[in-house]
Structure 1
């Protein structure tokens, strides 16, 4: 009897979806052009691992701290933490797409969804900052809380890419991984 794990079910779900592959087909050649044009240091090749996992803590930490400070009623501090996390998301997202550039198969499909969730969370947090600056704190909190939830789902998928597919665990530094 074969035991089906949660990881297997995640892969089966993404293998059954057609839209992530179609989107990846459209995006990946463009990301690969950028990825190939950048120096090795941007990829983390001198470090022995990609940079994306090292800096992902900046946006996630800022966004989590903002949520805690919002809940505690520390509006100004929450806004600052949200801003720091959102600014930190820019290089984190860019480096994540570079890590994804040469993926194949199921990992490629999961990676494109992981990236889209992160981009959506980033956008929601930008709009949250805008709403907060205009005195719409309730809307700002709702947007950043939604973004934090999406980041949690995305982080789960990112962990699946690393721990189940081995993405970024040596293979992607020198050769494509699927």
Structure 2
């Protein structure tokens, strides 16, 4: 029974190390979680603008802003995907973590395609005018919901399986008292 546990620990340690520290971030500091904030923020902002376009007298600027936030999100998602793909290479195939990572990647790619389509739909003709159409708003909301599911899976990769997270012994270094007595807290 000890052999499968030893093999699992070796595979786990493999998933903690970057394939390329220069491209994916060094050990304990992956770039992917930093980069995903751009598309997430842009796409959440675009949904806020979409909804707000129905609440103001002159919605054109909000509709245009939402369209460009969607474009910014697509560009950011593509950059995050490149780095995330490198992290995928660190995960040993045939493991639960690898299957979760493939689903995470697939959902993210589908969301990015949906947002790219939403951008082109909005840009068709003379571009956005007036309040954002119900179909465009619904596609935005549905895409964001799927992104939330994918984010949950990304969290499972990092926080449950420890992909690209420093080993617990490395983490424990942050809890060694630097001065004074251990367990003593100052107010």
Normalised by the length of structure 1, the TM-score is 0.69
Q: CA deviation at 1:147?
A: 1.4
Q: Aligned runs of 1:13-52 on 2, under 5 Å?
A: 40-45=21-26, 48-52=28-32
Which of 50, 67, 89 is the matching residue for 1:101?
89
By percentage of residues, which structure has more helix? 1
- The structure whose Rg is larger is 2
CA shift, 1:111, in A, is 0.4
- In the alignment, the residues of structure 2 paired with residue 54 and residue 162 of structure 1 have an alpha-carbon distance, to the nearest angstrom, of 13
Aligned-residue offset at 1:49: 1.4
Q: Cα distance, 1:152 vs. partner? A: 0.3
Unaligned 5+ segments in structure 2 are 1-17, 54-61, 168-187
SS at match of 1:101: helix
Return the alpha-carbon distance in structure 1 between the equivalents of residues 28 and 163 of structure 2.
13
Query: Does the 8 A contact of 2:28 with 2:165 survive in 1?
Result: no
Residues 51 and 137 in structure 2, CA contact (< 8 A), matched pair in contact too: no
Which blocks of at least 5 consecutive residues in structure 1 are unaligned? Answer: 1-34, 172-178
2:33 pairs, out of 53, 72, 86, with: 53
Tell me, in whole angstroms, the C-alpha distance in 1 between the residues paired with 2:83 and 2:111.
16
Contact 1:121 1:146 in 2 (8 A): no
Aligned to 1:123: 113
Is 1:158–2:154 an aligned residue pair?
yes
In 2, the alpha carbon distance for the partners of 1:120 and 1:168 equals: 24
Give the RMSD, CA atoms, in angstroms.
Answer: 1.9
Superposition misfits of 4+ residues, deviation over 4 angstroms? none
CA contact (8 A) 1:118 1:154 kept: yes
